[in-house]
Chains A and B, each alone.
Chain A
Amino acid sequence: MNAHPSLGLDDVVHQRVRLGILTVAHEARRVEFGYLRDQLDLTAGNLSKHLTVLETAGLIEVEKGYEGRRARTWITLTPAGTTALADEIGRLKQLIARVETTPEDR
């Protein structure tokens, strides 16, 4: 029998804010800190904590620099991050499919 899809969920990715960060970074290819903060409706401190978790896990790369005089922080998904995001979305789909195909308790 197949293992339940929830057993394969990665705690680092299966978290609403971090999943949002990976999603935006994947779609945008490269995303600026301020854009992520606005899209996810987070404080800078809160976002930084989640970025640190993802960076430590090797799922994103954080690059700090300047554009003119303005300090900018850019976030890029690593190949491991792309895989982790695809796996998470695959597992979410499996969970939904399982819920929809499991007969109701009598």
Chain B
Amino acid sequence: MTTNPISADGDPRRMLAEVRALSRRVRVDQRMTWAALLVLGATTLLAIPFDWFGMRVDCHADGSCEFARNGMLYFWPAAMLLAYAVIAVCYVRAARARGVGARVLPYAITGAVTAVVFPAAWLAVFLYFRSHPYPDGPLPYWYLVLDRLVMPWGMIGVALLVLVWLERNLALLAFTAGYLALVLLILPMNDGFASPHFSLRAGMALPQVLIGLVLLLGAAGFARAGRRQ
């Protein structure tokens, strides 16, 4: 049996099928999913000390505390830009070594845009609550989800969706869906785990540790799958 990838002699259906198969093979050879997840996972873990030590916490006599995560604001915009630049360079170099080009511009643009969204949202919320009273009751659920989306970990999920589109990568789509569910719906990324066993800072750090580990485990999984291919 021949394995010639273009063996259809004039049969339009087979020619079209083989065109699609060739396109798919090139896209697989352009993938560096594990590198993107590794860089994003490492950046997430690296952010934790910035959040921990940069956080301003004011606790009152009644036991309630106010906090401002200023460290994140200093770390993430620059770290995101750097992370996406490193990922883009990794993609270009790896693709070049394999003998193909790489489409990284949409990913780099998304990275740059998401790096701006977080400080812009932070500034907007800061300015809003300077002139409006903070609500007494619990915040609506949609507000919490939106808040988590514009935070750096939500923005990582958005950038991963762009990578899914660029790579036409169904496995990455499944991973990203799980990641976004974790970041937006399950883990308390914006206010941390509230527990008498944790300090406020530790309660904020724990979800970040989990997210960092998820990204690193994803990187290991995709690297292993890539080696098998």
Interface residues in B47-96 by Cβ distance below 8 A to A read 95
Count how many chain B residues have C-beta atoms less than 8 Å from C-beta atoms of the other chain: 28
A5, chain B: closest CB distance, angstroms: 9
Complex interface: chain A residues within 8 A of B10 (CB) = 14
B206, chain A: closest CB distance, angstroms: 42
Complex interface: chain A residues within 8 A of B22 (CB) = 20, 23-24, 27, 39
Residue of B8, B12, B99 touching A35 (CB-CB under 8 A)? B99
B16, chain A: closest CB distance, angstroms: 5
* A28 interface residue (CB < 8 Å to B): yes
B92, chain A: closest CB distance, angstroms: 10
Interface residues in B1-33 by Cβ distance below 8 A to A read 3-10, 12-13, 15-16, 18-19, 22-23, 25-27, 29-30
Q: Size band of the A side of the interface? A: 20 to 34
B4, chain A: closest CB distance, angstroms: 5
Residue of B5, B19, B100 touching A28 (CB-CB under 8 A)? B100
CA distance A41 to B22 in the complex (A): 12
CA distance A16 to B29 in the complex (A): 22
Further contacts, 10 of them, CB under 8 A, given A29-B100, A36-B99: A16-B18, A20-B18, A23-B23, A24-B26, A28-B100, A28-B101, A31-B26, A35-B100, A92-B12, A96-B12
26 contacts between A and B (CB under 8 A): A14-B10, A16-B8, A16-B18, A19-B19, A20-B18, A20-B22, A23-B22, A24-B22, A24-B23, A27-B23, A28-B26, A28-B100, A31-B99, A31-B100, A32-B100, A34-B99, A35-B98, A36-B99, A39-B5, A39-B25, A41-B3, A92-B15, A92-B16, A96-B12, A96-B13, A96-B16
Interface residues of A (CB under 8 A from B): 14, 16-17, 19-20, 23-24, 26-32, 34-36, 39-41, 89, 92-93, 95-96, 99
